[in-house]
Structure 1
Amino acid sequence: MLEQHVPADMGFEARYTWTLPLVAEWIKREFDVTLSVRGISAMLKRMNFSFTKATYTLAHANEEAQTFFRKHTFAQLKKQVEAEQIDHLLFEDESMIRSYQALQYNWFPRGKQRKVPTYGKHEGAKLCGAIHYETGQVHHREEEKADTTAFIRFLEDLLSAYSSGKIALILDNSRIHHATGLQPFLKEHPRLQLVFLPPYSPNLNPVEGLWLWLKADVVNNIFFEKFYKIRLHVSQFMNRINNQPMETIDRLLVRL
């Protein structure tokens, strides 16, 4: 019941989070058995339950398409890498970095909260990032906005970084990745191949994990009074992980 239903499904009007008192009320209603909140907590722990934060999932994601990508499209790409038909297999994505990010849980004296000052400014920058599937090397570029021109500049960076051989770039279906203005550039650089993920499939792109890692390590829970400081932190993070590429491989790429 706890896994498959929210309280509203079970007759608790406008309630969507199972708490111990609600579980106790449901048990009393359904079985006429009275259990204490502490007893229910102990019981749920024995049943391998924990009080965890919910997470979003994309309602329009197509599991069959994702499975096909993993077992067919990506499998074929890896075979082409092994056969040296593809020289560089990369994943790419974009993210917004703001002068202040989400506040996360952190250790602090009981009864107190860490206070993070803010001026209410919303300065930010778009980051383009790519991870090399075999080496774990990360390339990134900062732009003021995410548009076709910015994306082309990042592609030029990748072509420069990998100056010879075929590049297969796995990426999502963002508008800028399909833009008409991009087509002449792709024709001019035939060694660059774009491979599109199934729609609504961030779970298949390890760069999404890179952004979470970056924000958790150097951005969240802090306010940057000067935006250049966040640029500095981002660069330091990228330099650090590129000096330890096996950490990136173990953390983001092994599961693929």
Structure 2
Amino acid sequence: MDILTEKQVLELKIAHKQTREKRVADRIKAILMVHMGFTYEQIKQTLLLDDVTVRRYWKQYQSRSMAGLLEYRYSGGSSHLTGLQETELKVFFREHTPQTAKAVVDHITKTYNISYSVLGATKLLHRLGFVYKKPKVIPGKLDRFKQEEFLKTYKETKAQLGVRDHIYFLDATHPQHNTRLSYGWILKGKENDKFIKTNSGRARLNLHGALRLDDRATIVLDEETIDTISTLRLLRAIDHQQRLGNVYLILDNASYYHAGLVKQWVLFHPRFKLLFLPTYSPNLNIIERLWRFFHQKITHNRYFETFGEFKTTSLDFFKNLNLYEKELTTLLTDNFQLYPT
């Protein structure tokens, strides 16, 4: 017994002859081939479609007849939305971030009764200026006014630097001996999944560093712990590196920077000037960018069998920053980004 009636077959053949859309023609051919007794596997190989797609076409035809089969979901040529509708979408999605292109498809269908494919919605988002990325995390208690005041002081300090004066950014970081996974471009398909070993190591490095702004000269000390004593060692290292001129140190409000011994040391070394950042202001500390760059190059998607190997590789990175000079030249600048309030 035939699956389709003669009338349905004739209707499909006429539609196939009249359509100029290859994808619509393939849908019609798929339905006719099912009617003629071809298996889904044979249809897939003949029309170069996947099995799921062929079955979906058949289901569409069964449920909505010709209208369902010929329903064409926009996939990215010229927009089916008006200019005003696109503007409305842009405003809406700026305030309500869609997590998937499917969410965009659903919103367009619900709001404008216009059908898009996921691919079409993705192309539309790109055309409207959207890119797929994570939001940036910012401190919940930051003070925009205090950040602006600090930048004013910073610019005044920089403007009055003498020939032998330098600005340093200080901070500590604690990279852990464990695998840190990060995004990367990987061929799709489970057979192309990347697997990286991990370990349960809790050992970590304690690095105390200073970055000189104008030439990106860096001092990074490997310490047992970050405290007042490590701070004094770092100050002495800076003093040894820069024998002449004033030394302006930009640092956060960690307790060890406010310790009595540190204040006493600075008192006896008057060319050292401490400029404290506002609280919750990692965006104003340039050495934070160097720490992130270190993780990108050394710890992301890499496995270290032993802590010793991890430690050696990490410290060697900071000893050979000249290898990354081109990247660091544009990264380590005082082009600060202020967080919104």
TM range (shorter): 0.7 to 0.9
1:25 is aligned with what amino acid?
D
Which residue is 2:304 aligned to? 224
Instruction: Give 1:177's match in structure 2, choosing from 254, 257, 261.
Output: 257
C-alpha separation between the residues in 2 aligned to 1:223 and 1:244? 22
- Runs of 4+ with >6 A deviation: none
Kindly report the root-mean-square deviation, in angstroms, between the aligned alpha carbons of the 2 structures.
2.3
From the superposition, tell whether residues 162 and 243 of structure 1 become closer, same or farther in structure 2 (CA, over 3 Å): farther
Query: Is the CA contact 2:209–2:218 (under 8 Å) kept in the aligned structure 1?
Result: yes
Task: Report which of the two has the higher share of strand.
Answer: 1
Q: Does structure 1 conserve the Cα–Cα contact (< 8 Å) formed by 2:175 and 2:205?
A: yes
Q: Which of 208, 215, 231 does residue 128 from structure 1 map onto?
A: 208
| Higher RCO, Cα 8 Å, sep 6+ | 1
- Kindly tell me: are residues 115 and 243 of structure 1, through their superposed partners in 2, closer, same or farther at Cα, counting changes over 3 Å? closer
Question: What runs of 5+ residues in structure 2 fail to find an aligned partner?
Answer: 1-91, 337-341
Q: Which amino acid aligns with 1:62?
A: D
Letter in 2 for 1:30: T
The number of aligned residues is 243
Q: % of aligned pairs identical?
A: 27
Residue equivalent to 1:92: 170
Decide whether aligned partners of structure 1 residues 149 and 20 sit closer, same or farther in structure 2, where only a CA change above 3 A counts.
Answer: same
Residues 1:152 and 2:243 aligned together = no
Hey, what does 2:107 align to over in structure 1? 26
Partner of 1:3: 94
Alpha carbons of structure 1 residues 151 and 255: separation in structure 2 relative to 1, 3 Å:
same
Counterpart of 1:4, as a letter, is E
CA distance in 1, matches of 2:291, 2:179: 12
- Residue 123 of structure 1 deviates from its aligned partner by 0.8
> Residue 207 of structure 1 is aligned with which of 269, 273, 287?
287
Matches within 5 A, 1:71-90: 72-81=152-161, 83-84=162-163, 87-90=165-168
Q: Is the Cα contact below 8 Å between 1:135 and 1:245 reproduced in 2? A: no
Match in the other structure for 1:69: 150
Does structure 1 residue 137 correspond to structure 2 residue 211?
Answer: no
Unaligned runs of 5+ in 1: 7-16
Per-residue CA deviations over 1:45-93 (Å, capped at 9, x if unaligned) read 11011222232122222222222322x2111111221x44x61211111
Query: Scaled by the length of structure 1, what TM-score is found?
Result: 0.84
Q: Within 2, Cα distance between the matches of 1:99 and 1:142?
A: 14
Q: Could you say what secondary structure the match of 1:217 adopts?
A: helix
Structure of larger gyration radius: 2
Pick the aligned partner of 1:56 from 134, 137, 151. Answer: 137
Partner of 2:117: 36
